[in-house]
Structure 1
Amino acid sequence: MTTAPASRFLPFAAAGILALTGCSAAPAPATPPISCARGAVSGQGSSAQTNAVNAWIKAYQIACPDASVEYTSSGSGAGVRAFLAGDGDFAGTDTPLSTADQQRADARCGTGRAVHLPLVTGPIALAYNVAGIDGLRLTPRTIARIFSGQVTVWNDPAIAADNEGTALPATRIRIVHRSDGSGTTANFLAFLTGTDSGWAHGDGSTWPLPGGLGQRGSHRVVAAIGRTDGAIGYVEASYARVTDLPAVAVGTAGGDFVTPTDDAAGLTVAAAQVSGTGGDLRLRIDPATTTGRGYPIVSVTYQVVCRGSVPEAARSFLAYAASDRGQEAAQRAGFAPLPAALRSQVAQAIAGLR
């Protein structure tokens, strides 16, 4: 490996653009470079964010050959447990730490509190595979009845009422859910419990009902949906897009049906409230208040780090991920970029890590 200074900047090119009149235009604004550091960085956790993290790792290591970054896609629950046991520089989790886990994380950190940095946001899609159905629309109440097993066939009157004029088959509904502890599960259940859906099975990161097709990891969820006629499941939207699975348009409190686009998820995240203090950027999202074009089932993936003892290479990598360039890379990987105001808060919080 070539020896390089501790801080390296990725070169950029800026060229003047000639207008059609032949006059020289002002150079385009330069994209800020990546500020690199030496060292190894490791993290583990949320499978929902894997595609974004892999895009960051690829770009960062091209720019920073003296850094090594590894991420293990183990699921939010496993990632948090590993972090609490002292493994890795950060844990990726789709839900904030519980009170008990926060206390354990603070004890693990020793030199400062464990803080949450939101870096990946995006819609959770209800992906489905039903021959003959396209453009499916479902209200929260119908979604709750499907996933609780009360509605068992696709031509049920409740589904028909949400899809007037659509010919629905009598295909049996096959539920696909996560079998491992998952932040995606937690966010989906938070949507069901936080809206007027009639859901009576609680929340949490573990799927609460027996039956269905339980799958470990987001990639296995979409694979199971794709090979099963009549299937429906919840998964981070980029996985549905890359496998060409259609996604449900979900009813909102305002009576609209909204598809899981990045822009629609961004509207919901932009309306969230920061509930943490001292650089801890937990977000409070209320799906019951989502109206207009905001999509109501969203995931915010946090990197949990120890404030006061973050290695320089980890700070450098996280700062890149939160930057405009890093968020553009995440967007190309299928995720919604952080809203501008939140991005600024995250950048400030990372700058304050030591």
Structure 2
Amino acid sequence: MARLPQIMRRPQQILEAPSPAATAGGGGTVSLSGAGATFPAPLYQRWFSEFNKLNPNIQISYQSVGSGAGVKQFLAKTVDFGATDAPLNDKERASYPKDMGEPLQIPMTGGAVVYAFNLDGVDNLKLSRDAYCGITDGTIKTWNDPKIVKDNPDAKLPSSPITFIHRSDGSGTTFLFTSHIKAACPNWKAGASKSVEWPAGVGAKGNEGVTAQIQQTKGTIGYTEYSYAKENSLKMAAIQNKSGAFIDPSPEAAAKALEGAEVPADFALKVPDPAGKEAYPIVGLTWLLLHGKYSDQAKADALKNFIKWAFQDGSSFAKELGYLPLPNEVTNKAIAALDNVKVAAK
């Protein structure tokens, strides 16, 4: 297993191959299609745009439809690649088409899931574990509940109802969020999955939908990916981590959640409740799903070269948008795993 280094800085990438931008795609036009997670969609769209500027003959289209729908399309072979914030489970692997080789899940970036809120007169909010667990399971119903007031003595918390906003679609963000809630909240009964039976709240589709619902509706709070909240200037709560500290969401605090974590051979790293004293508690990786076999050499090469470029030159865009560039120890192993992508004999 690879162990993530203590600080997720990126020393000079070790790649012996020439720059992917100089070698990708050859002369003909290559069109790639993908679908899946909304969590990394802003970064993926930026990456695809920047990569296309360097490789005008390679067009990559991406549908931000949620991890659940993306995995289904990947398994149905209707897209060239999938994207998910939840590693493939045993049932999904068992239904993978045998003629496509073995699926690969390549970690691309990491990020935080935040509690974003819209409450007039309150700019800073601290939520203890008791508080955010109660909001999520519906047992805390008003903003002036004693469990919220306790840690926000100077805030003018109203007696109005809390409306919790959650995902209505199959979502890797929901998987990351509920994996933490299951670990942190003793009374949580709905489990951890891309789709759960919510005990309370209002559903919205995609990180985009949750973000918009919070932005447009007073008295709401819900979970969304950090970059969506940041880009839309939503207020984000500081939440209590396993050590008892209240942590504001940030890429730096999210990186601390992954420090020292062991990355398994299939890259399916999960850290539902990190122990670090300065770690933000709801953090995960997101993966691209590649087929083990492609019928088109140009498509296989273009996908591999895109991933190498994203690791090597795309990290600056990840940082700019609030995502976590992965350390070289992990990206070099992921690049080596790309050798398992083959072209089917005709």
TM range (shorter): 0.7 to 0.9
Indicate the SS of the match to 1:128.
strand
State yes or no: 1:305 paired with 2:301.
no
- TM-score, scaled relative to structure 2: 0.86
Are the equivalent residues in 2 in contact too, given 1:142–1:197 (CA < 8 A)? no
Are the equivalent residues in 2 in contact too, given 1:138–1:249 (CA < 8 A)? yes
**Deviations for 1:164-184, whole angstroms, at most 9, x for unmatched residues?**
343322221011111111111
How far apart, in 2, do the equivalents of 1:254 and 1:211 lie? 28
Amino acid at match of 2:316: E
Matched ranges for 1:1-354 at <5 A: 34=21, 35-38=23-26, 39-105=30-96, 108=97, 110-209=99-198, 211-275=200-264, 277=265, 280-287=266-273, 289-309=274-294, 311-323=300-312, 325-354=313-342
How far apart, in 1, do the equivalents of 2:51 and 2:284 lie? 24
Query: How has the CA–CA distance of structure 1 residues 90 and 201 changed in structure 2, closer, same or farther, with 3 Å as cutoff?
Result: same
Amino acid at match of 1:294: A
How far apart are residue 258 of structure 1 and its match? Answer: 0.9
- TM-score, scaled relative to structure 1: 0.84
Indicate the SS of the match to 1:202.
coil
Instruction: State percent identity of aligned pairs.
Output: 31
How far apart, in 2, do the equivalents of 1:302 and 1:205 lie? 14
Query: How has the CA–CA distance of structure 1 residues 101 and 33 changed in structure 2, closer, same or farther, with 3 Å as cutoff?
Result: closer
Query: How has the CA–CA distance of structure 1 residues 170 and 155 changed in structure 2, closer, same or farther, with 3 Å as cutoff?
Result: same
Query: Is there any run of 5+ residues in structure 1 with no aligned partner, and where?
Result: 1-30
How far apart are residue 78 of structure 1 and its match? Answer: 0.5
How far apart, in 1, do the equivalents of 2:20 and 2:301 lie? 17
How far apart, in 2, do the equivalents of 1:144 and 1:282 lie? 26
Are the equivalent residues in 2 in contact too, given 1:131–1:229 (CA < 8 A)? yes
Of structures 1 and 2, the one with the larger relative CO (CA 8 A, separation 6+) is 2
Are the equivalent residues in 2 in contact too, given 1:201–1:208 (CA < 8 A)? yes
Query: How has the CA–CA distance of structure 1 residues 295 and 177 changed in structure 2, closer, same or farther, with 3 Å as cutoff?
Result: same
Amino acid at match of 1:233: G
How far apart, in 2, do the equivalents of 1:353 and 1:185 lie? 29
How far apart are residue 216 of structure 1 and its match? Answer: 0.8
Are the equivalent residues in 2 in contact too, given 1:322–1:346 (CA < 8 A)? no
Query: How has the CA–CA distance of structure 1 residues 61 and 44 changed in structure 2, closer, same or farther, with 3 Å as cutoff?
Result: same
Indicate the SS of the match to 1:311.
helix
How far apart are residue 200 of structure 1 and its match? Answer: 2.4
Are the equivalent residues in 2 in contact too, given 1:236–1:299 (CA < 8 A)? no
How far apart are residue 191 of structure 1 and its match? Answer: 0.3
Query: How has the CA–CA distance of structure 1 residues 294 and 340 changed in structure 2, closer, same or farther, with 3 Å as cutoff?
Result: farther
How far apart are residue 90 of structure 1 and its match? Answer: 1.2
How far apart are residue 333 of structure 1 and its match? Answer: 2.5
How far apart, in 2, do the equivalents of 1:110 and 1:321 lie? 28
Amino acid at match of 2:70: G
Indicate the SS of the match to 1:125.
strand
How far apart, in 2, do the equivalents of 1:85 and 1:246 lie? 39
Count of aligned positions: 317
Amino acid at match of 2:213: A
Amino acid at match of 1:43: G
Query: How has the CA–CA distance of structure 1 residues 181 and 71 changed in structure 2, closer, same or farther, with 3 Å as cutoff?
Result: same
How far apart are residue 109 of structure 1 and its match? Answer: 5.4
Query: Is there any run of 5+ residues in structure 2 with no aligned partner, and where?
Result: 1-17
Are the equivalent residues in 2 in contact too, given 1:272–1:286 (CA < 8 A)? no
How far apart, in 1, do the equivalents of 2:108 and 2:48 lie? 14
How far apart, in 1, do the equivalents of 2:72 and 2:322 lie? 27
Query: How has the CA–CA distance of structure 1 residues 156 and 48 changed in structure 2, closer, same or farther, with 3 Å as cutoff?
Result: same
How far apart, in 1, do the equivalents of 2:276 and 2:102 lie? 35
Amino acid at match of 1:171: S
Indicate the SS of the match to 2:212.
helix
**Deviations for 1:204-229, whole angstroms, at most 9, x for unmatched residues?**
11142255221111111111101111
How far apart, in 2, do the equivalents of 1:74 and 1:120 lie? 18
What is the RMSD computed on CA atoms of the aligned residues? Answer: 1.9
How far apart are residue 308 of structure 1 and its match? Answer: 4.3
**Deviations for 1:4-27, whole angstroms, at most 9, x for unmatched residues?**
xxxxxxxxxxxxxxxxxxxxxxxx
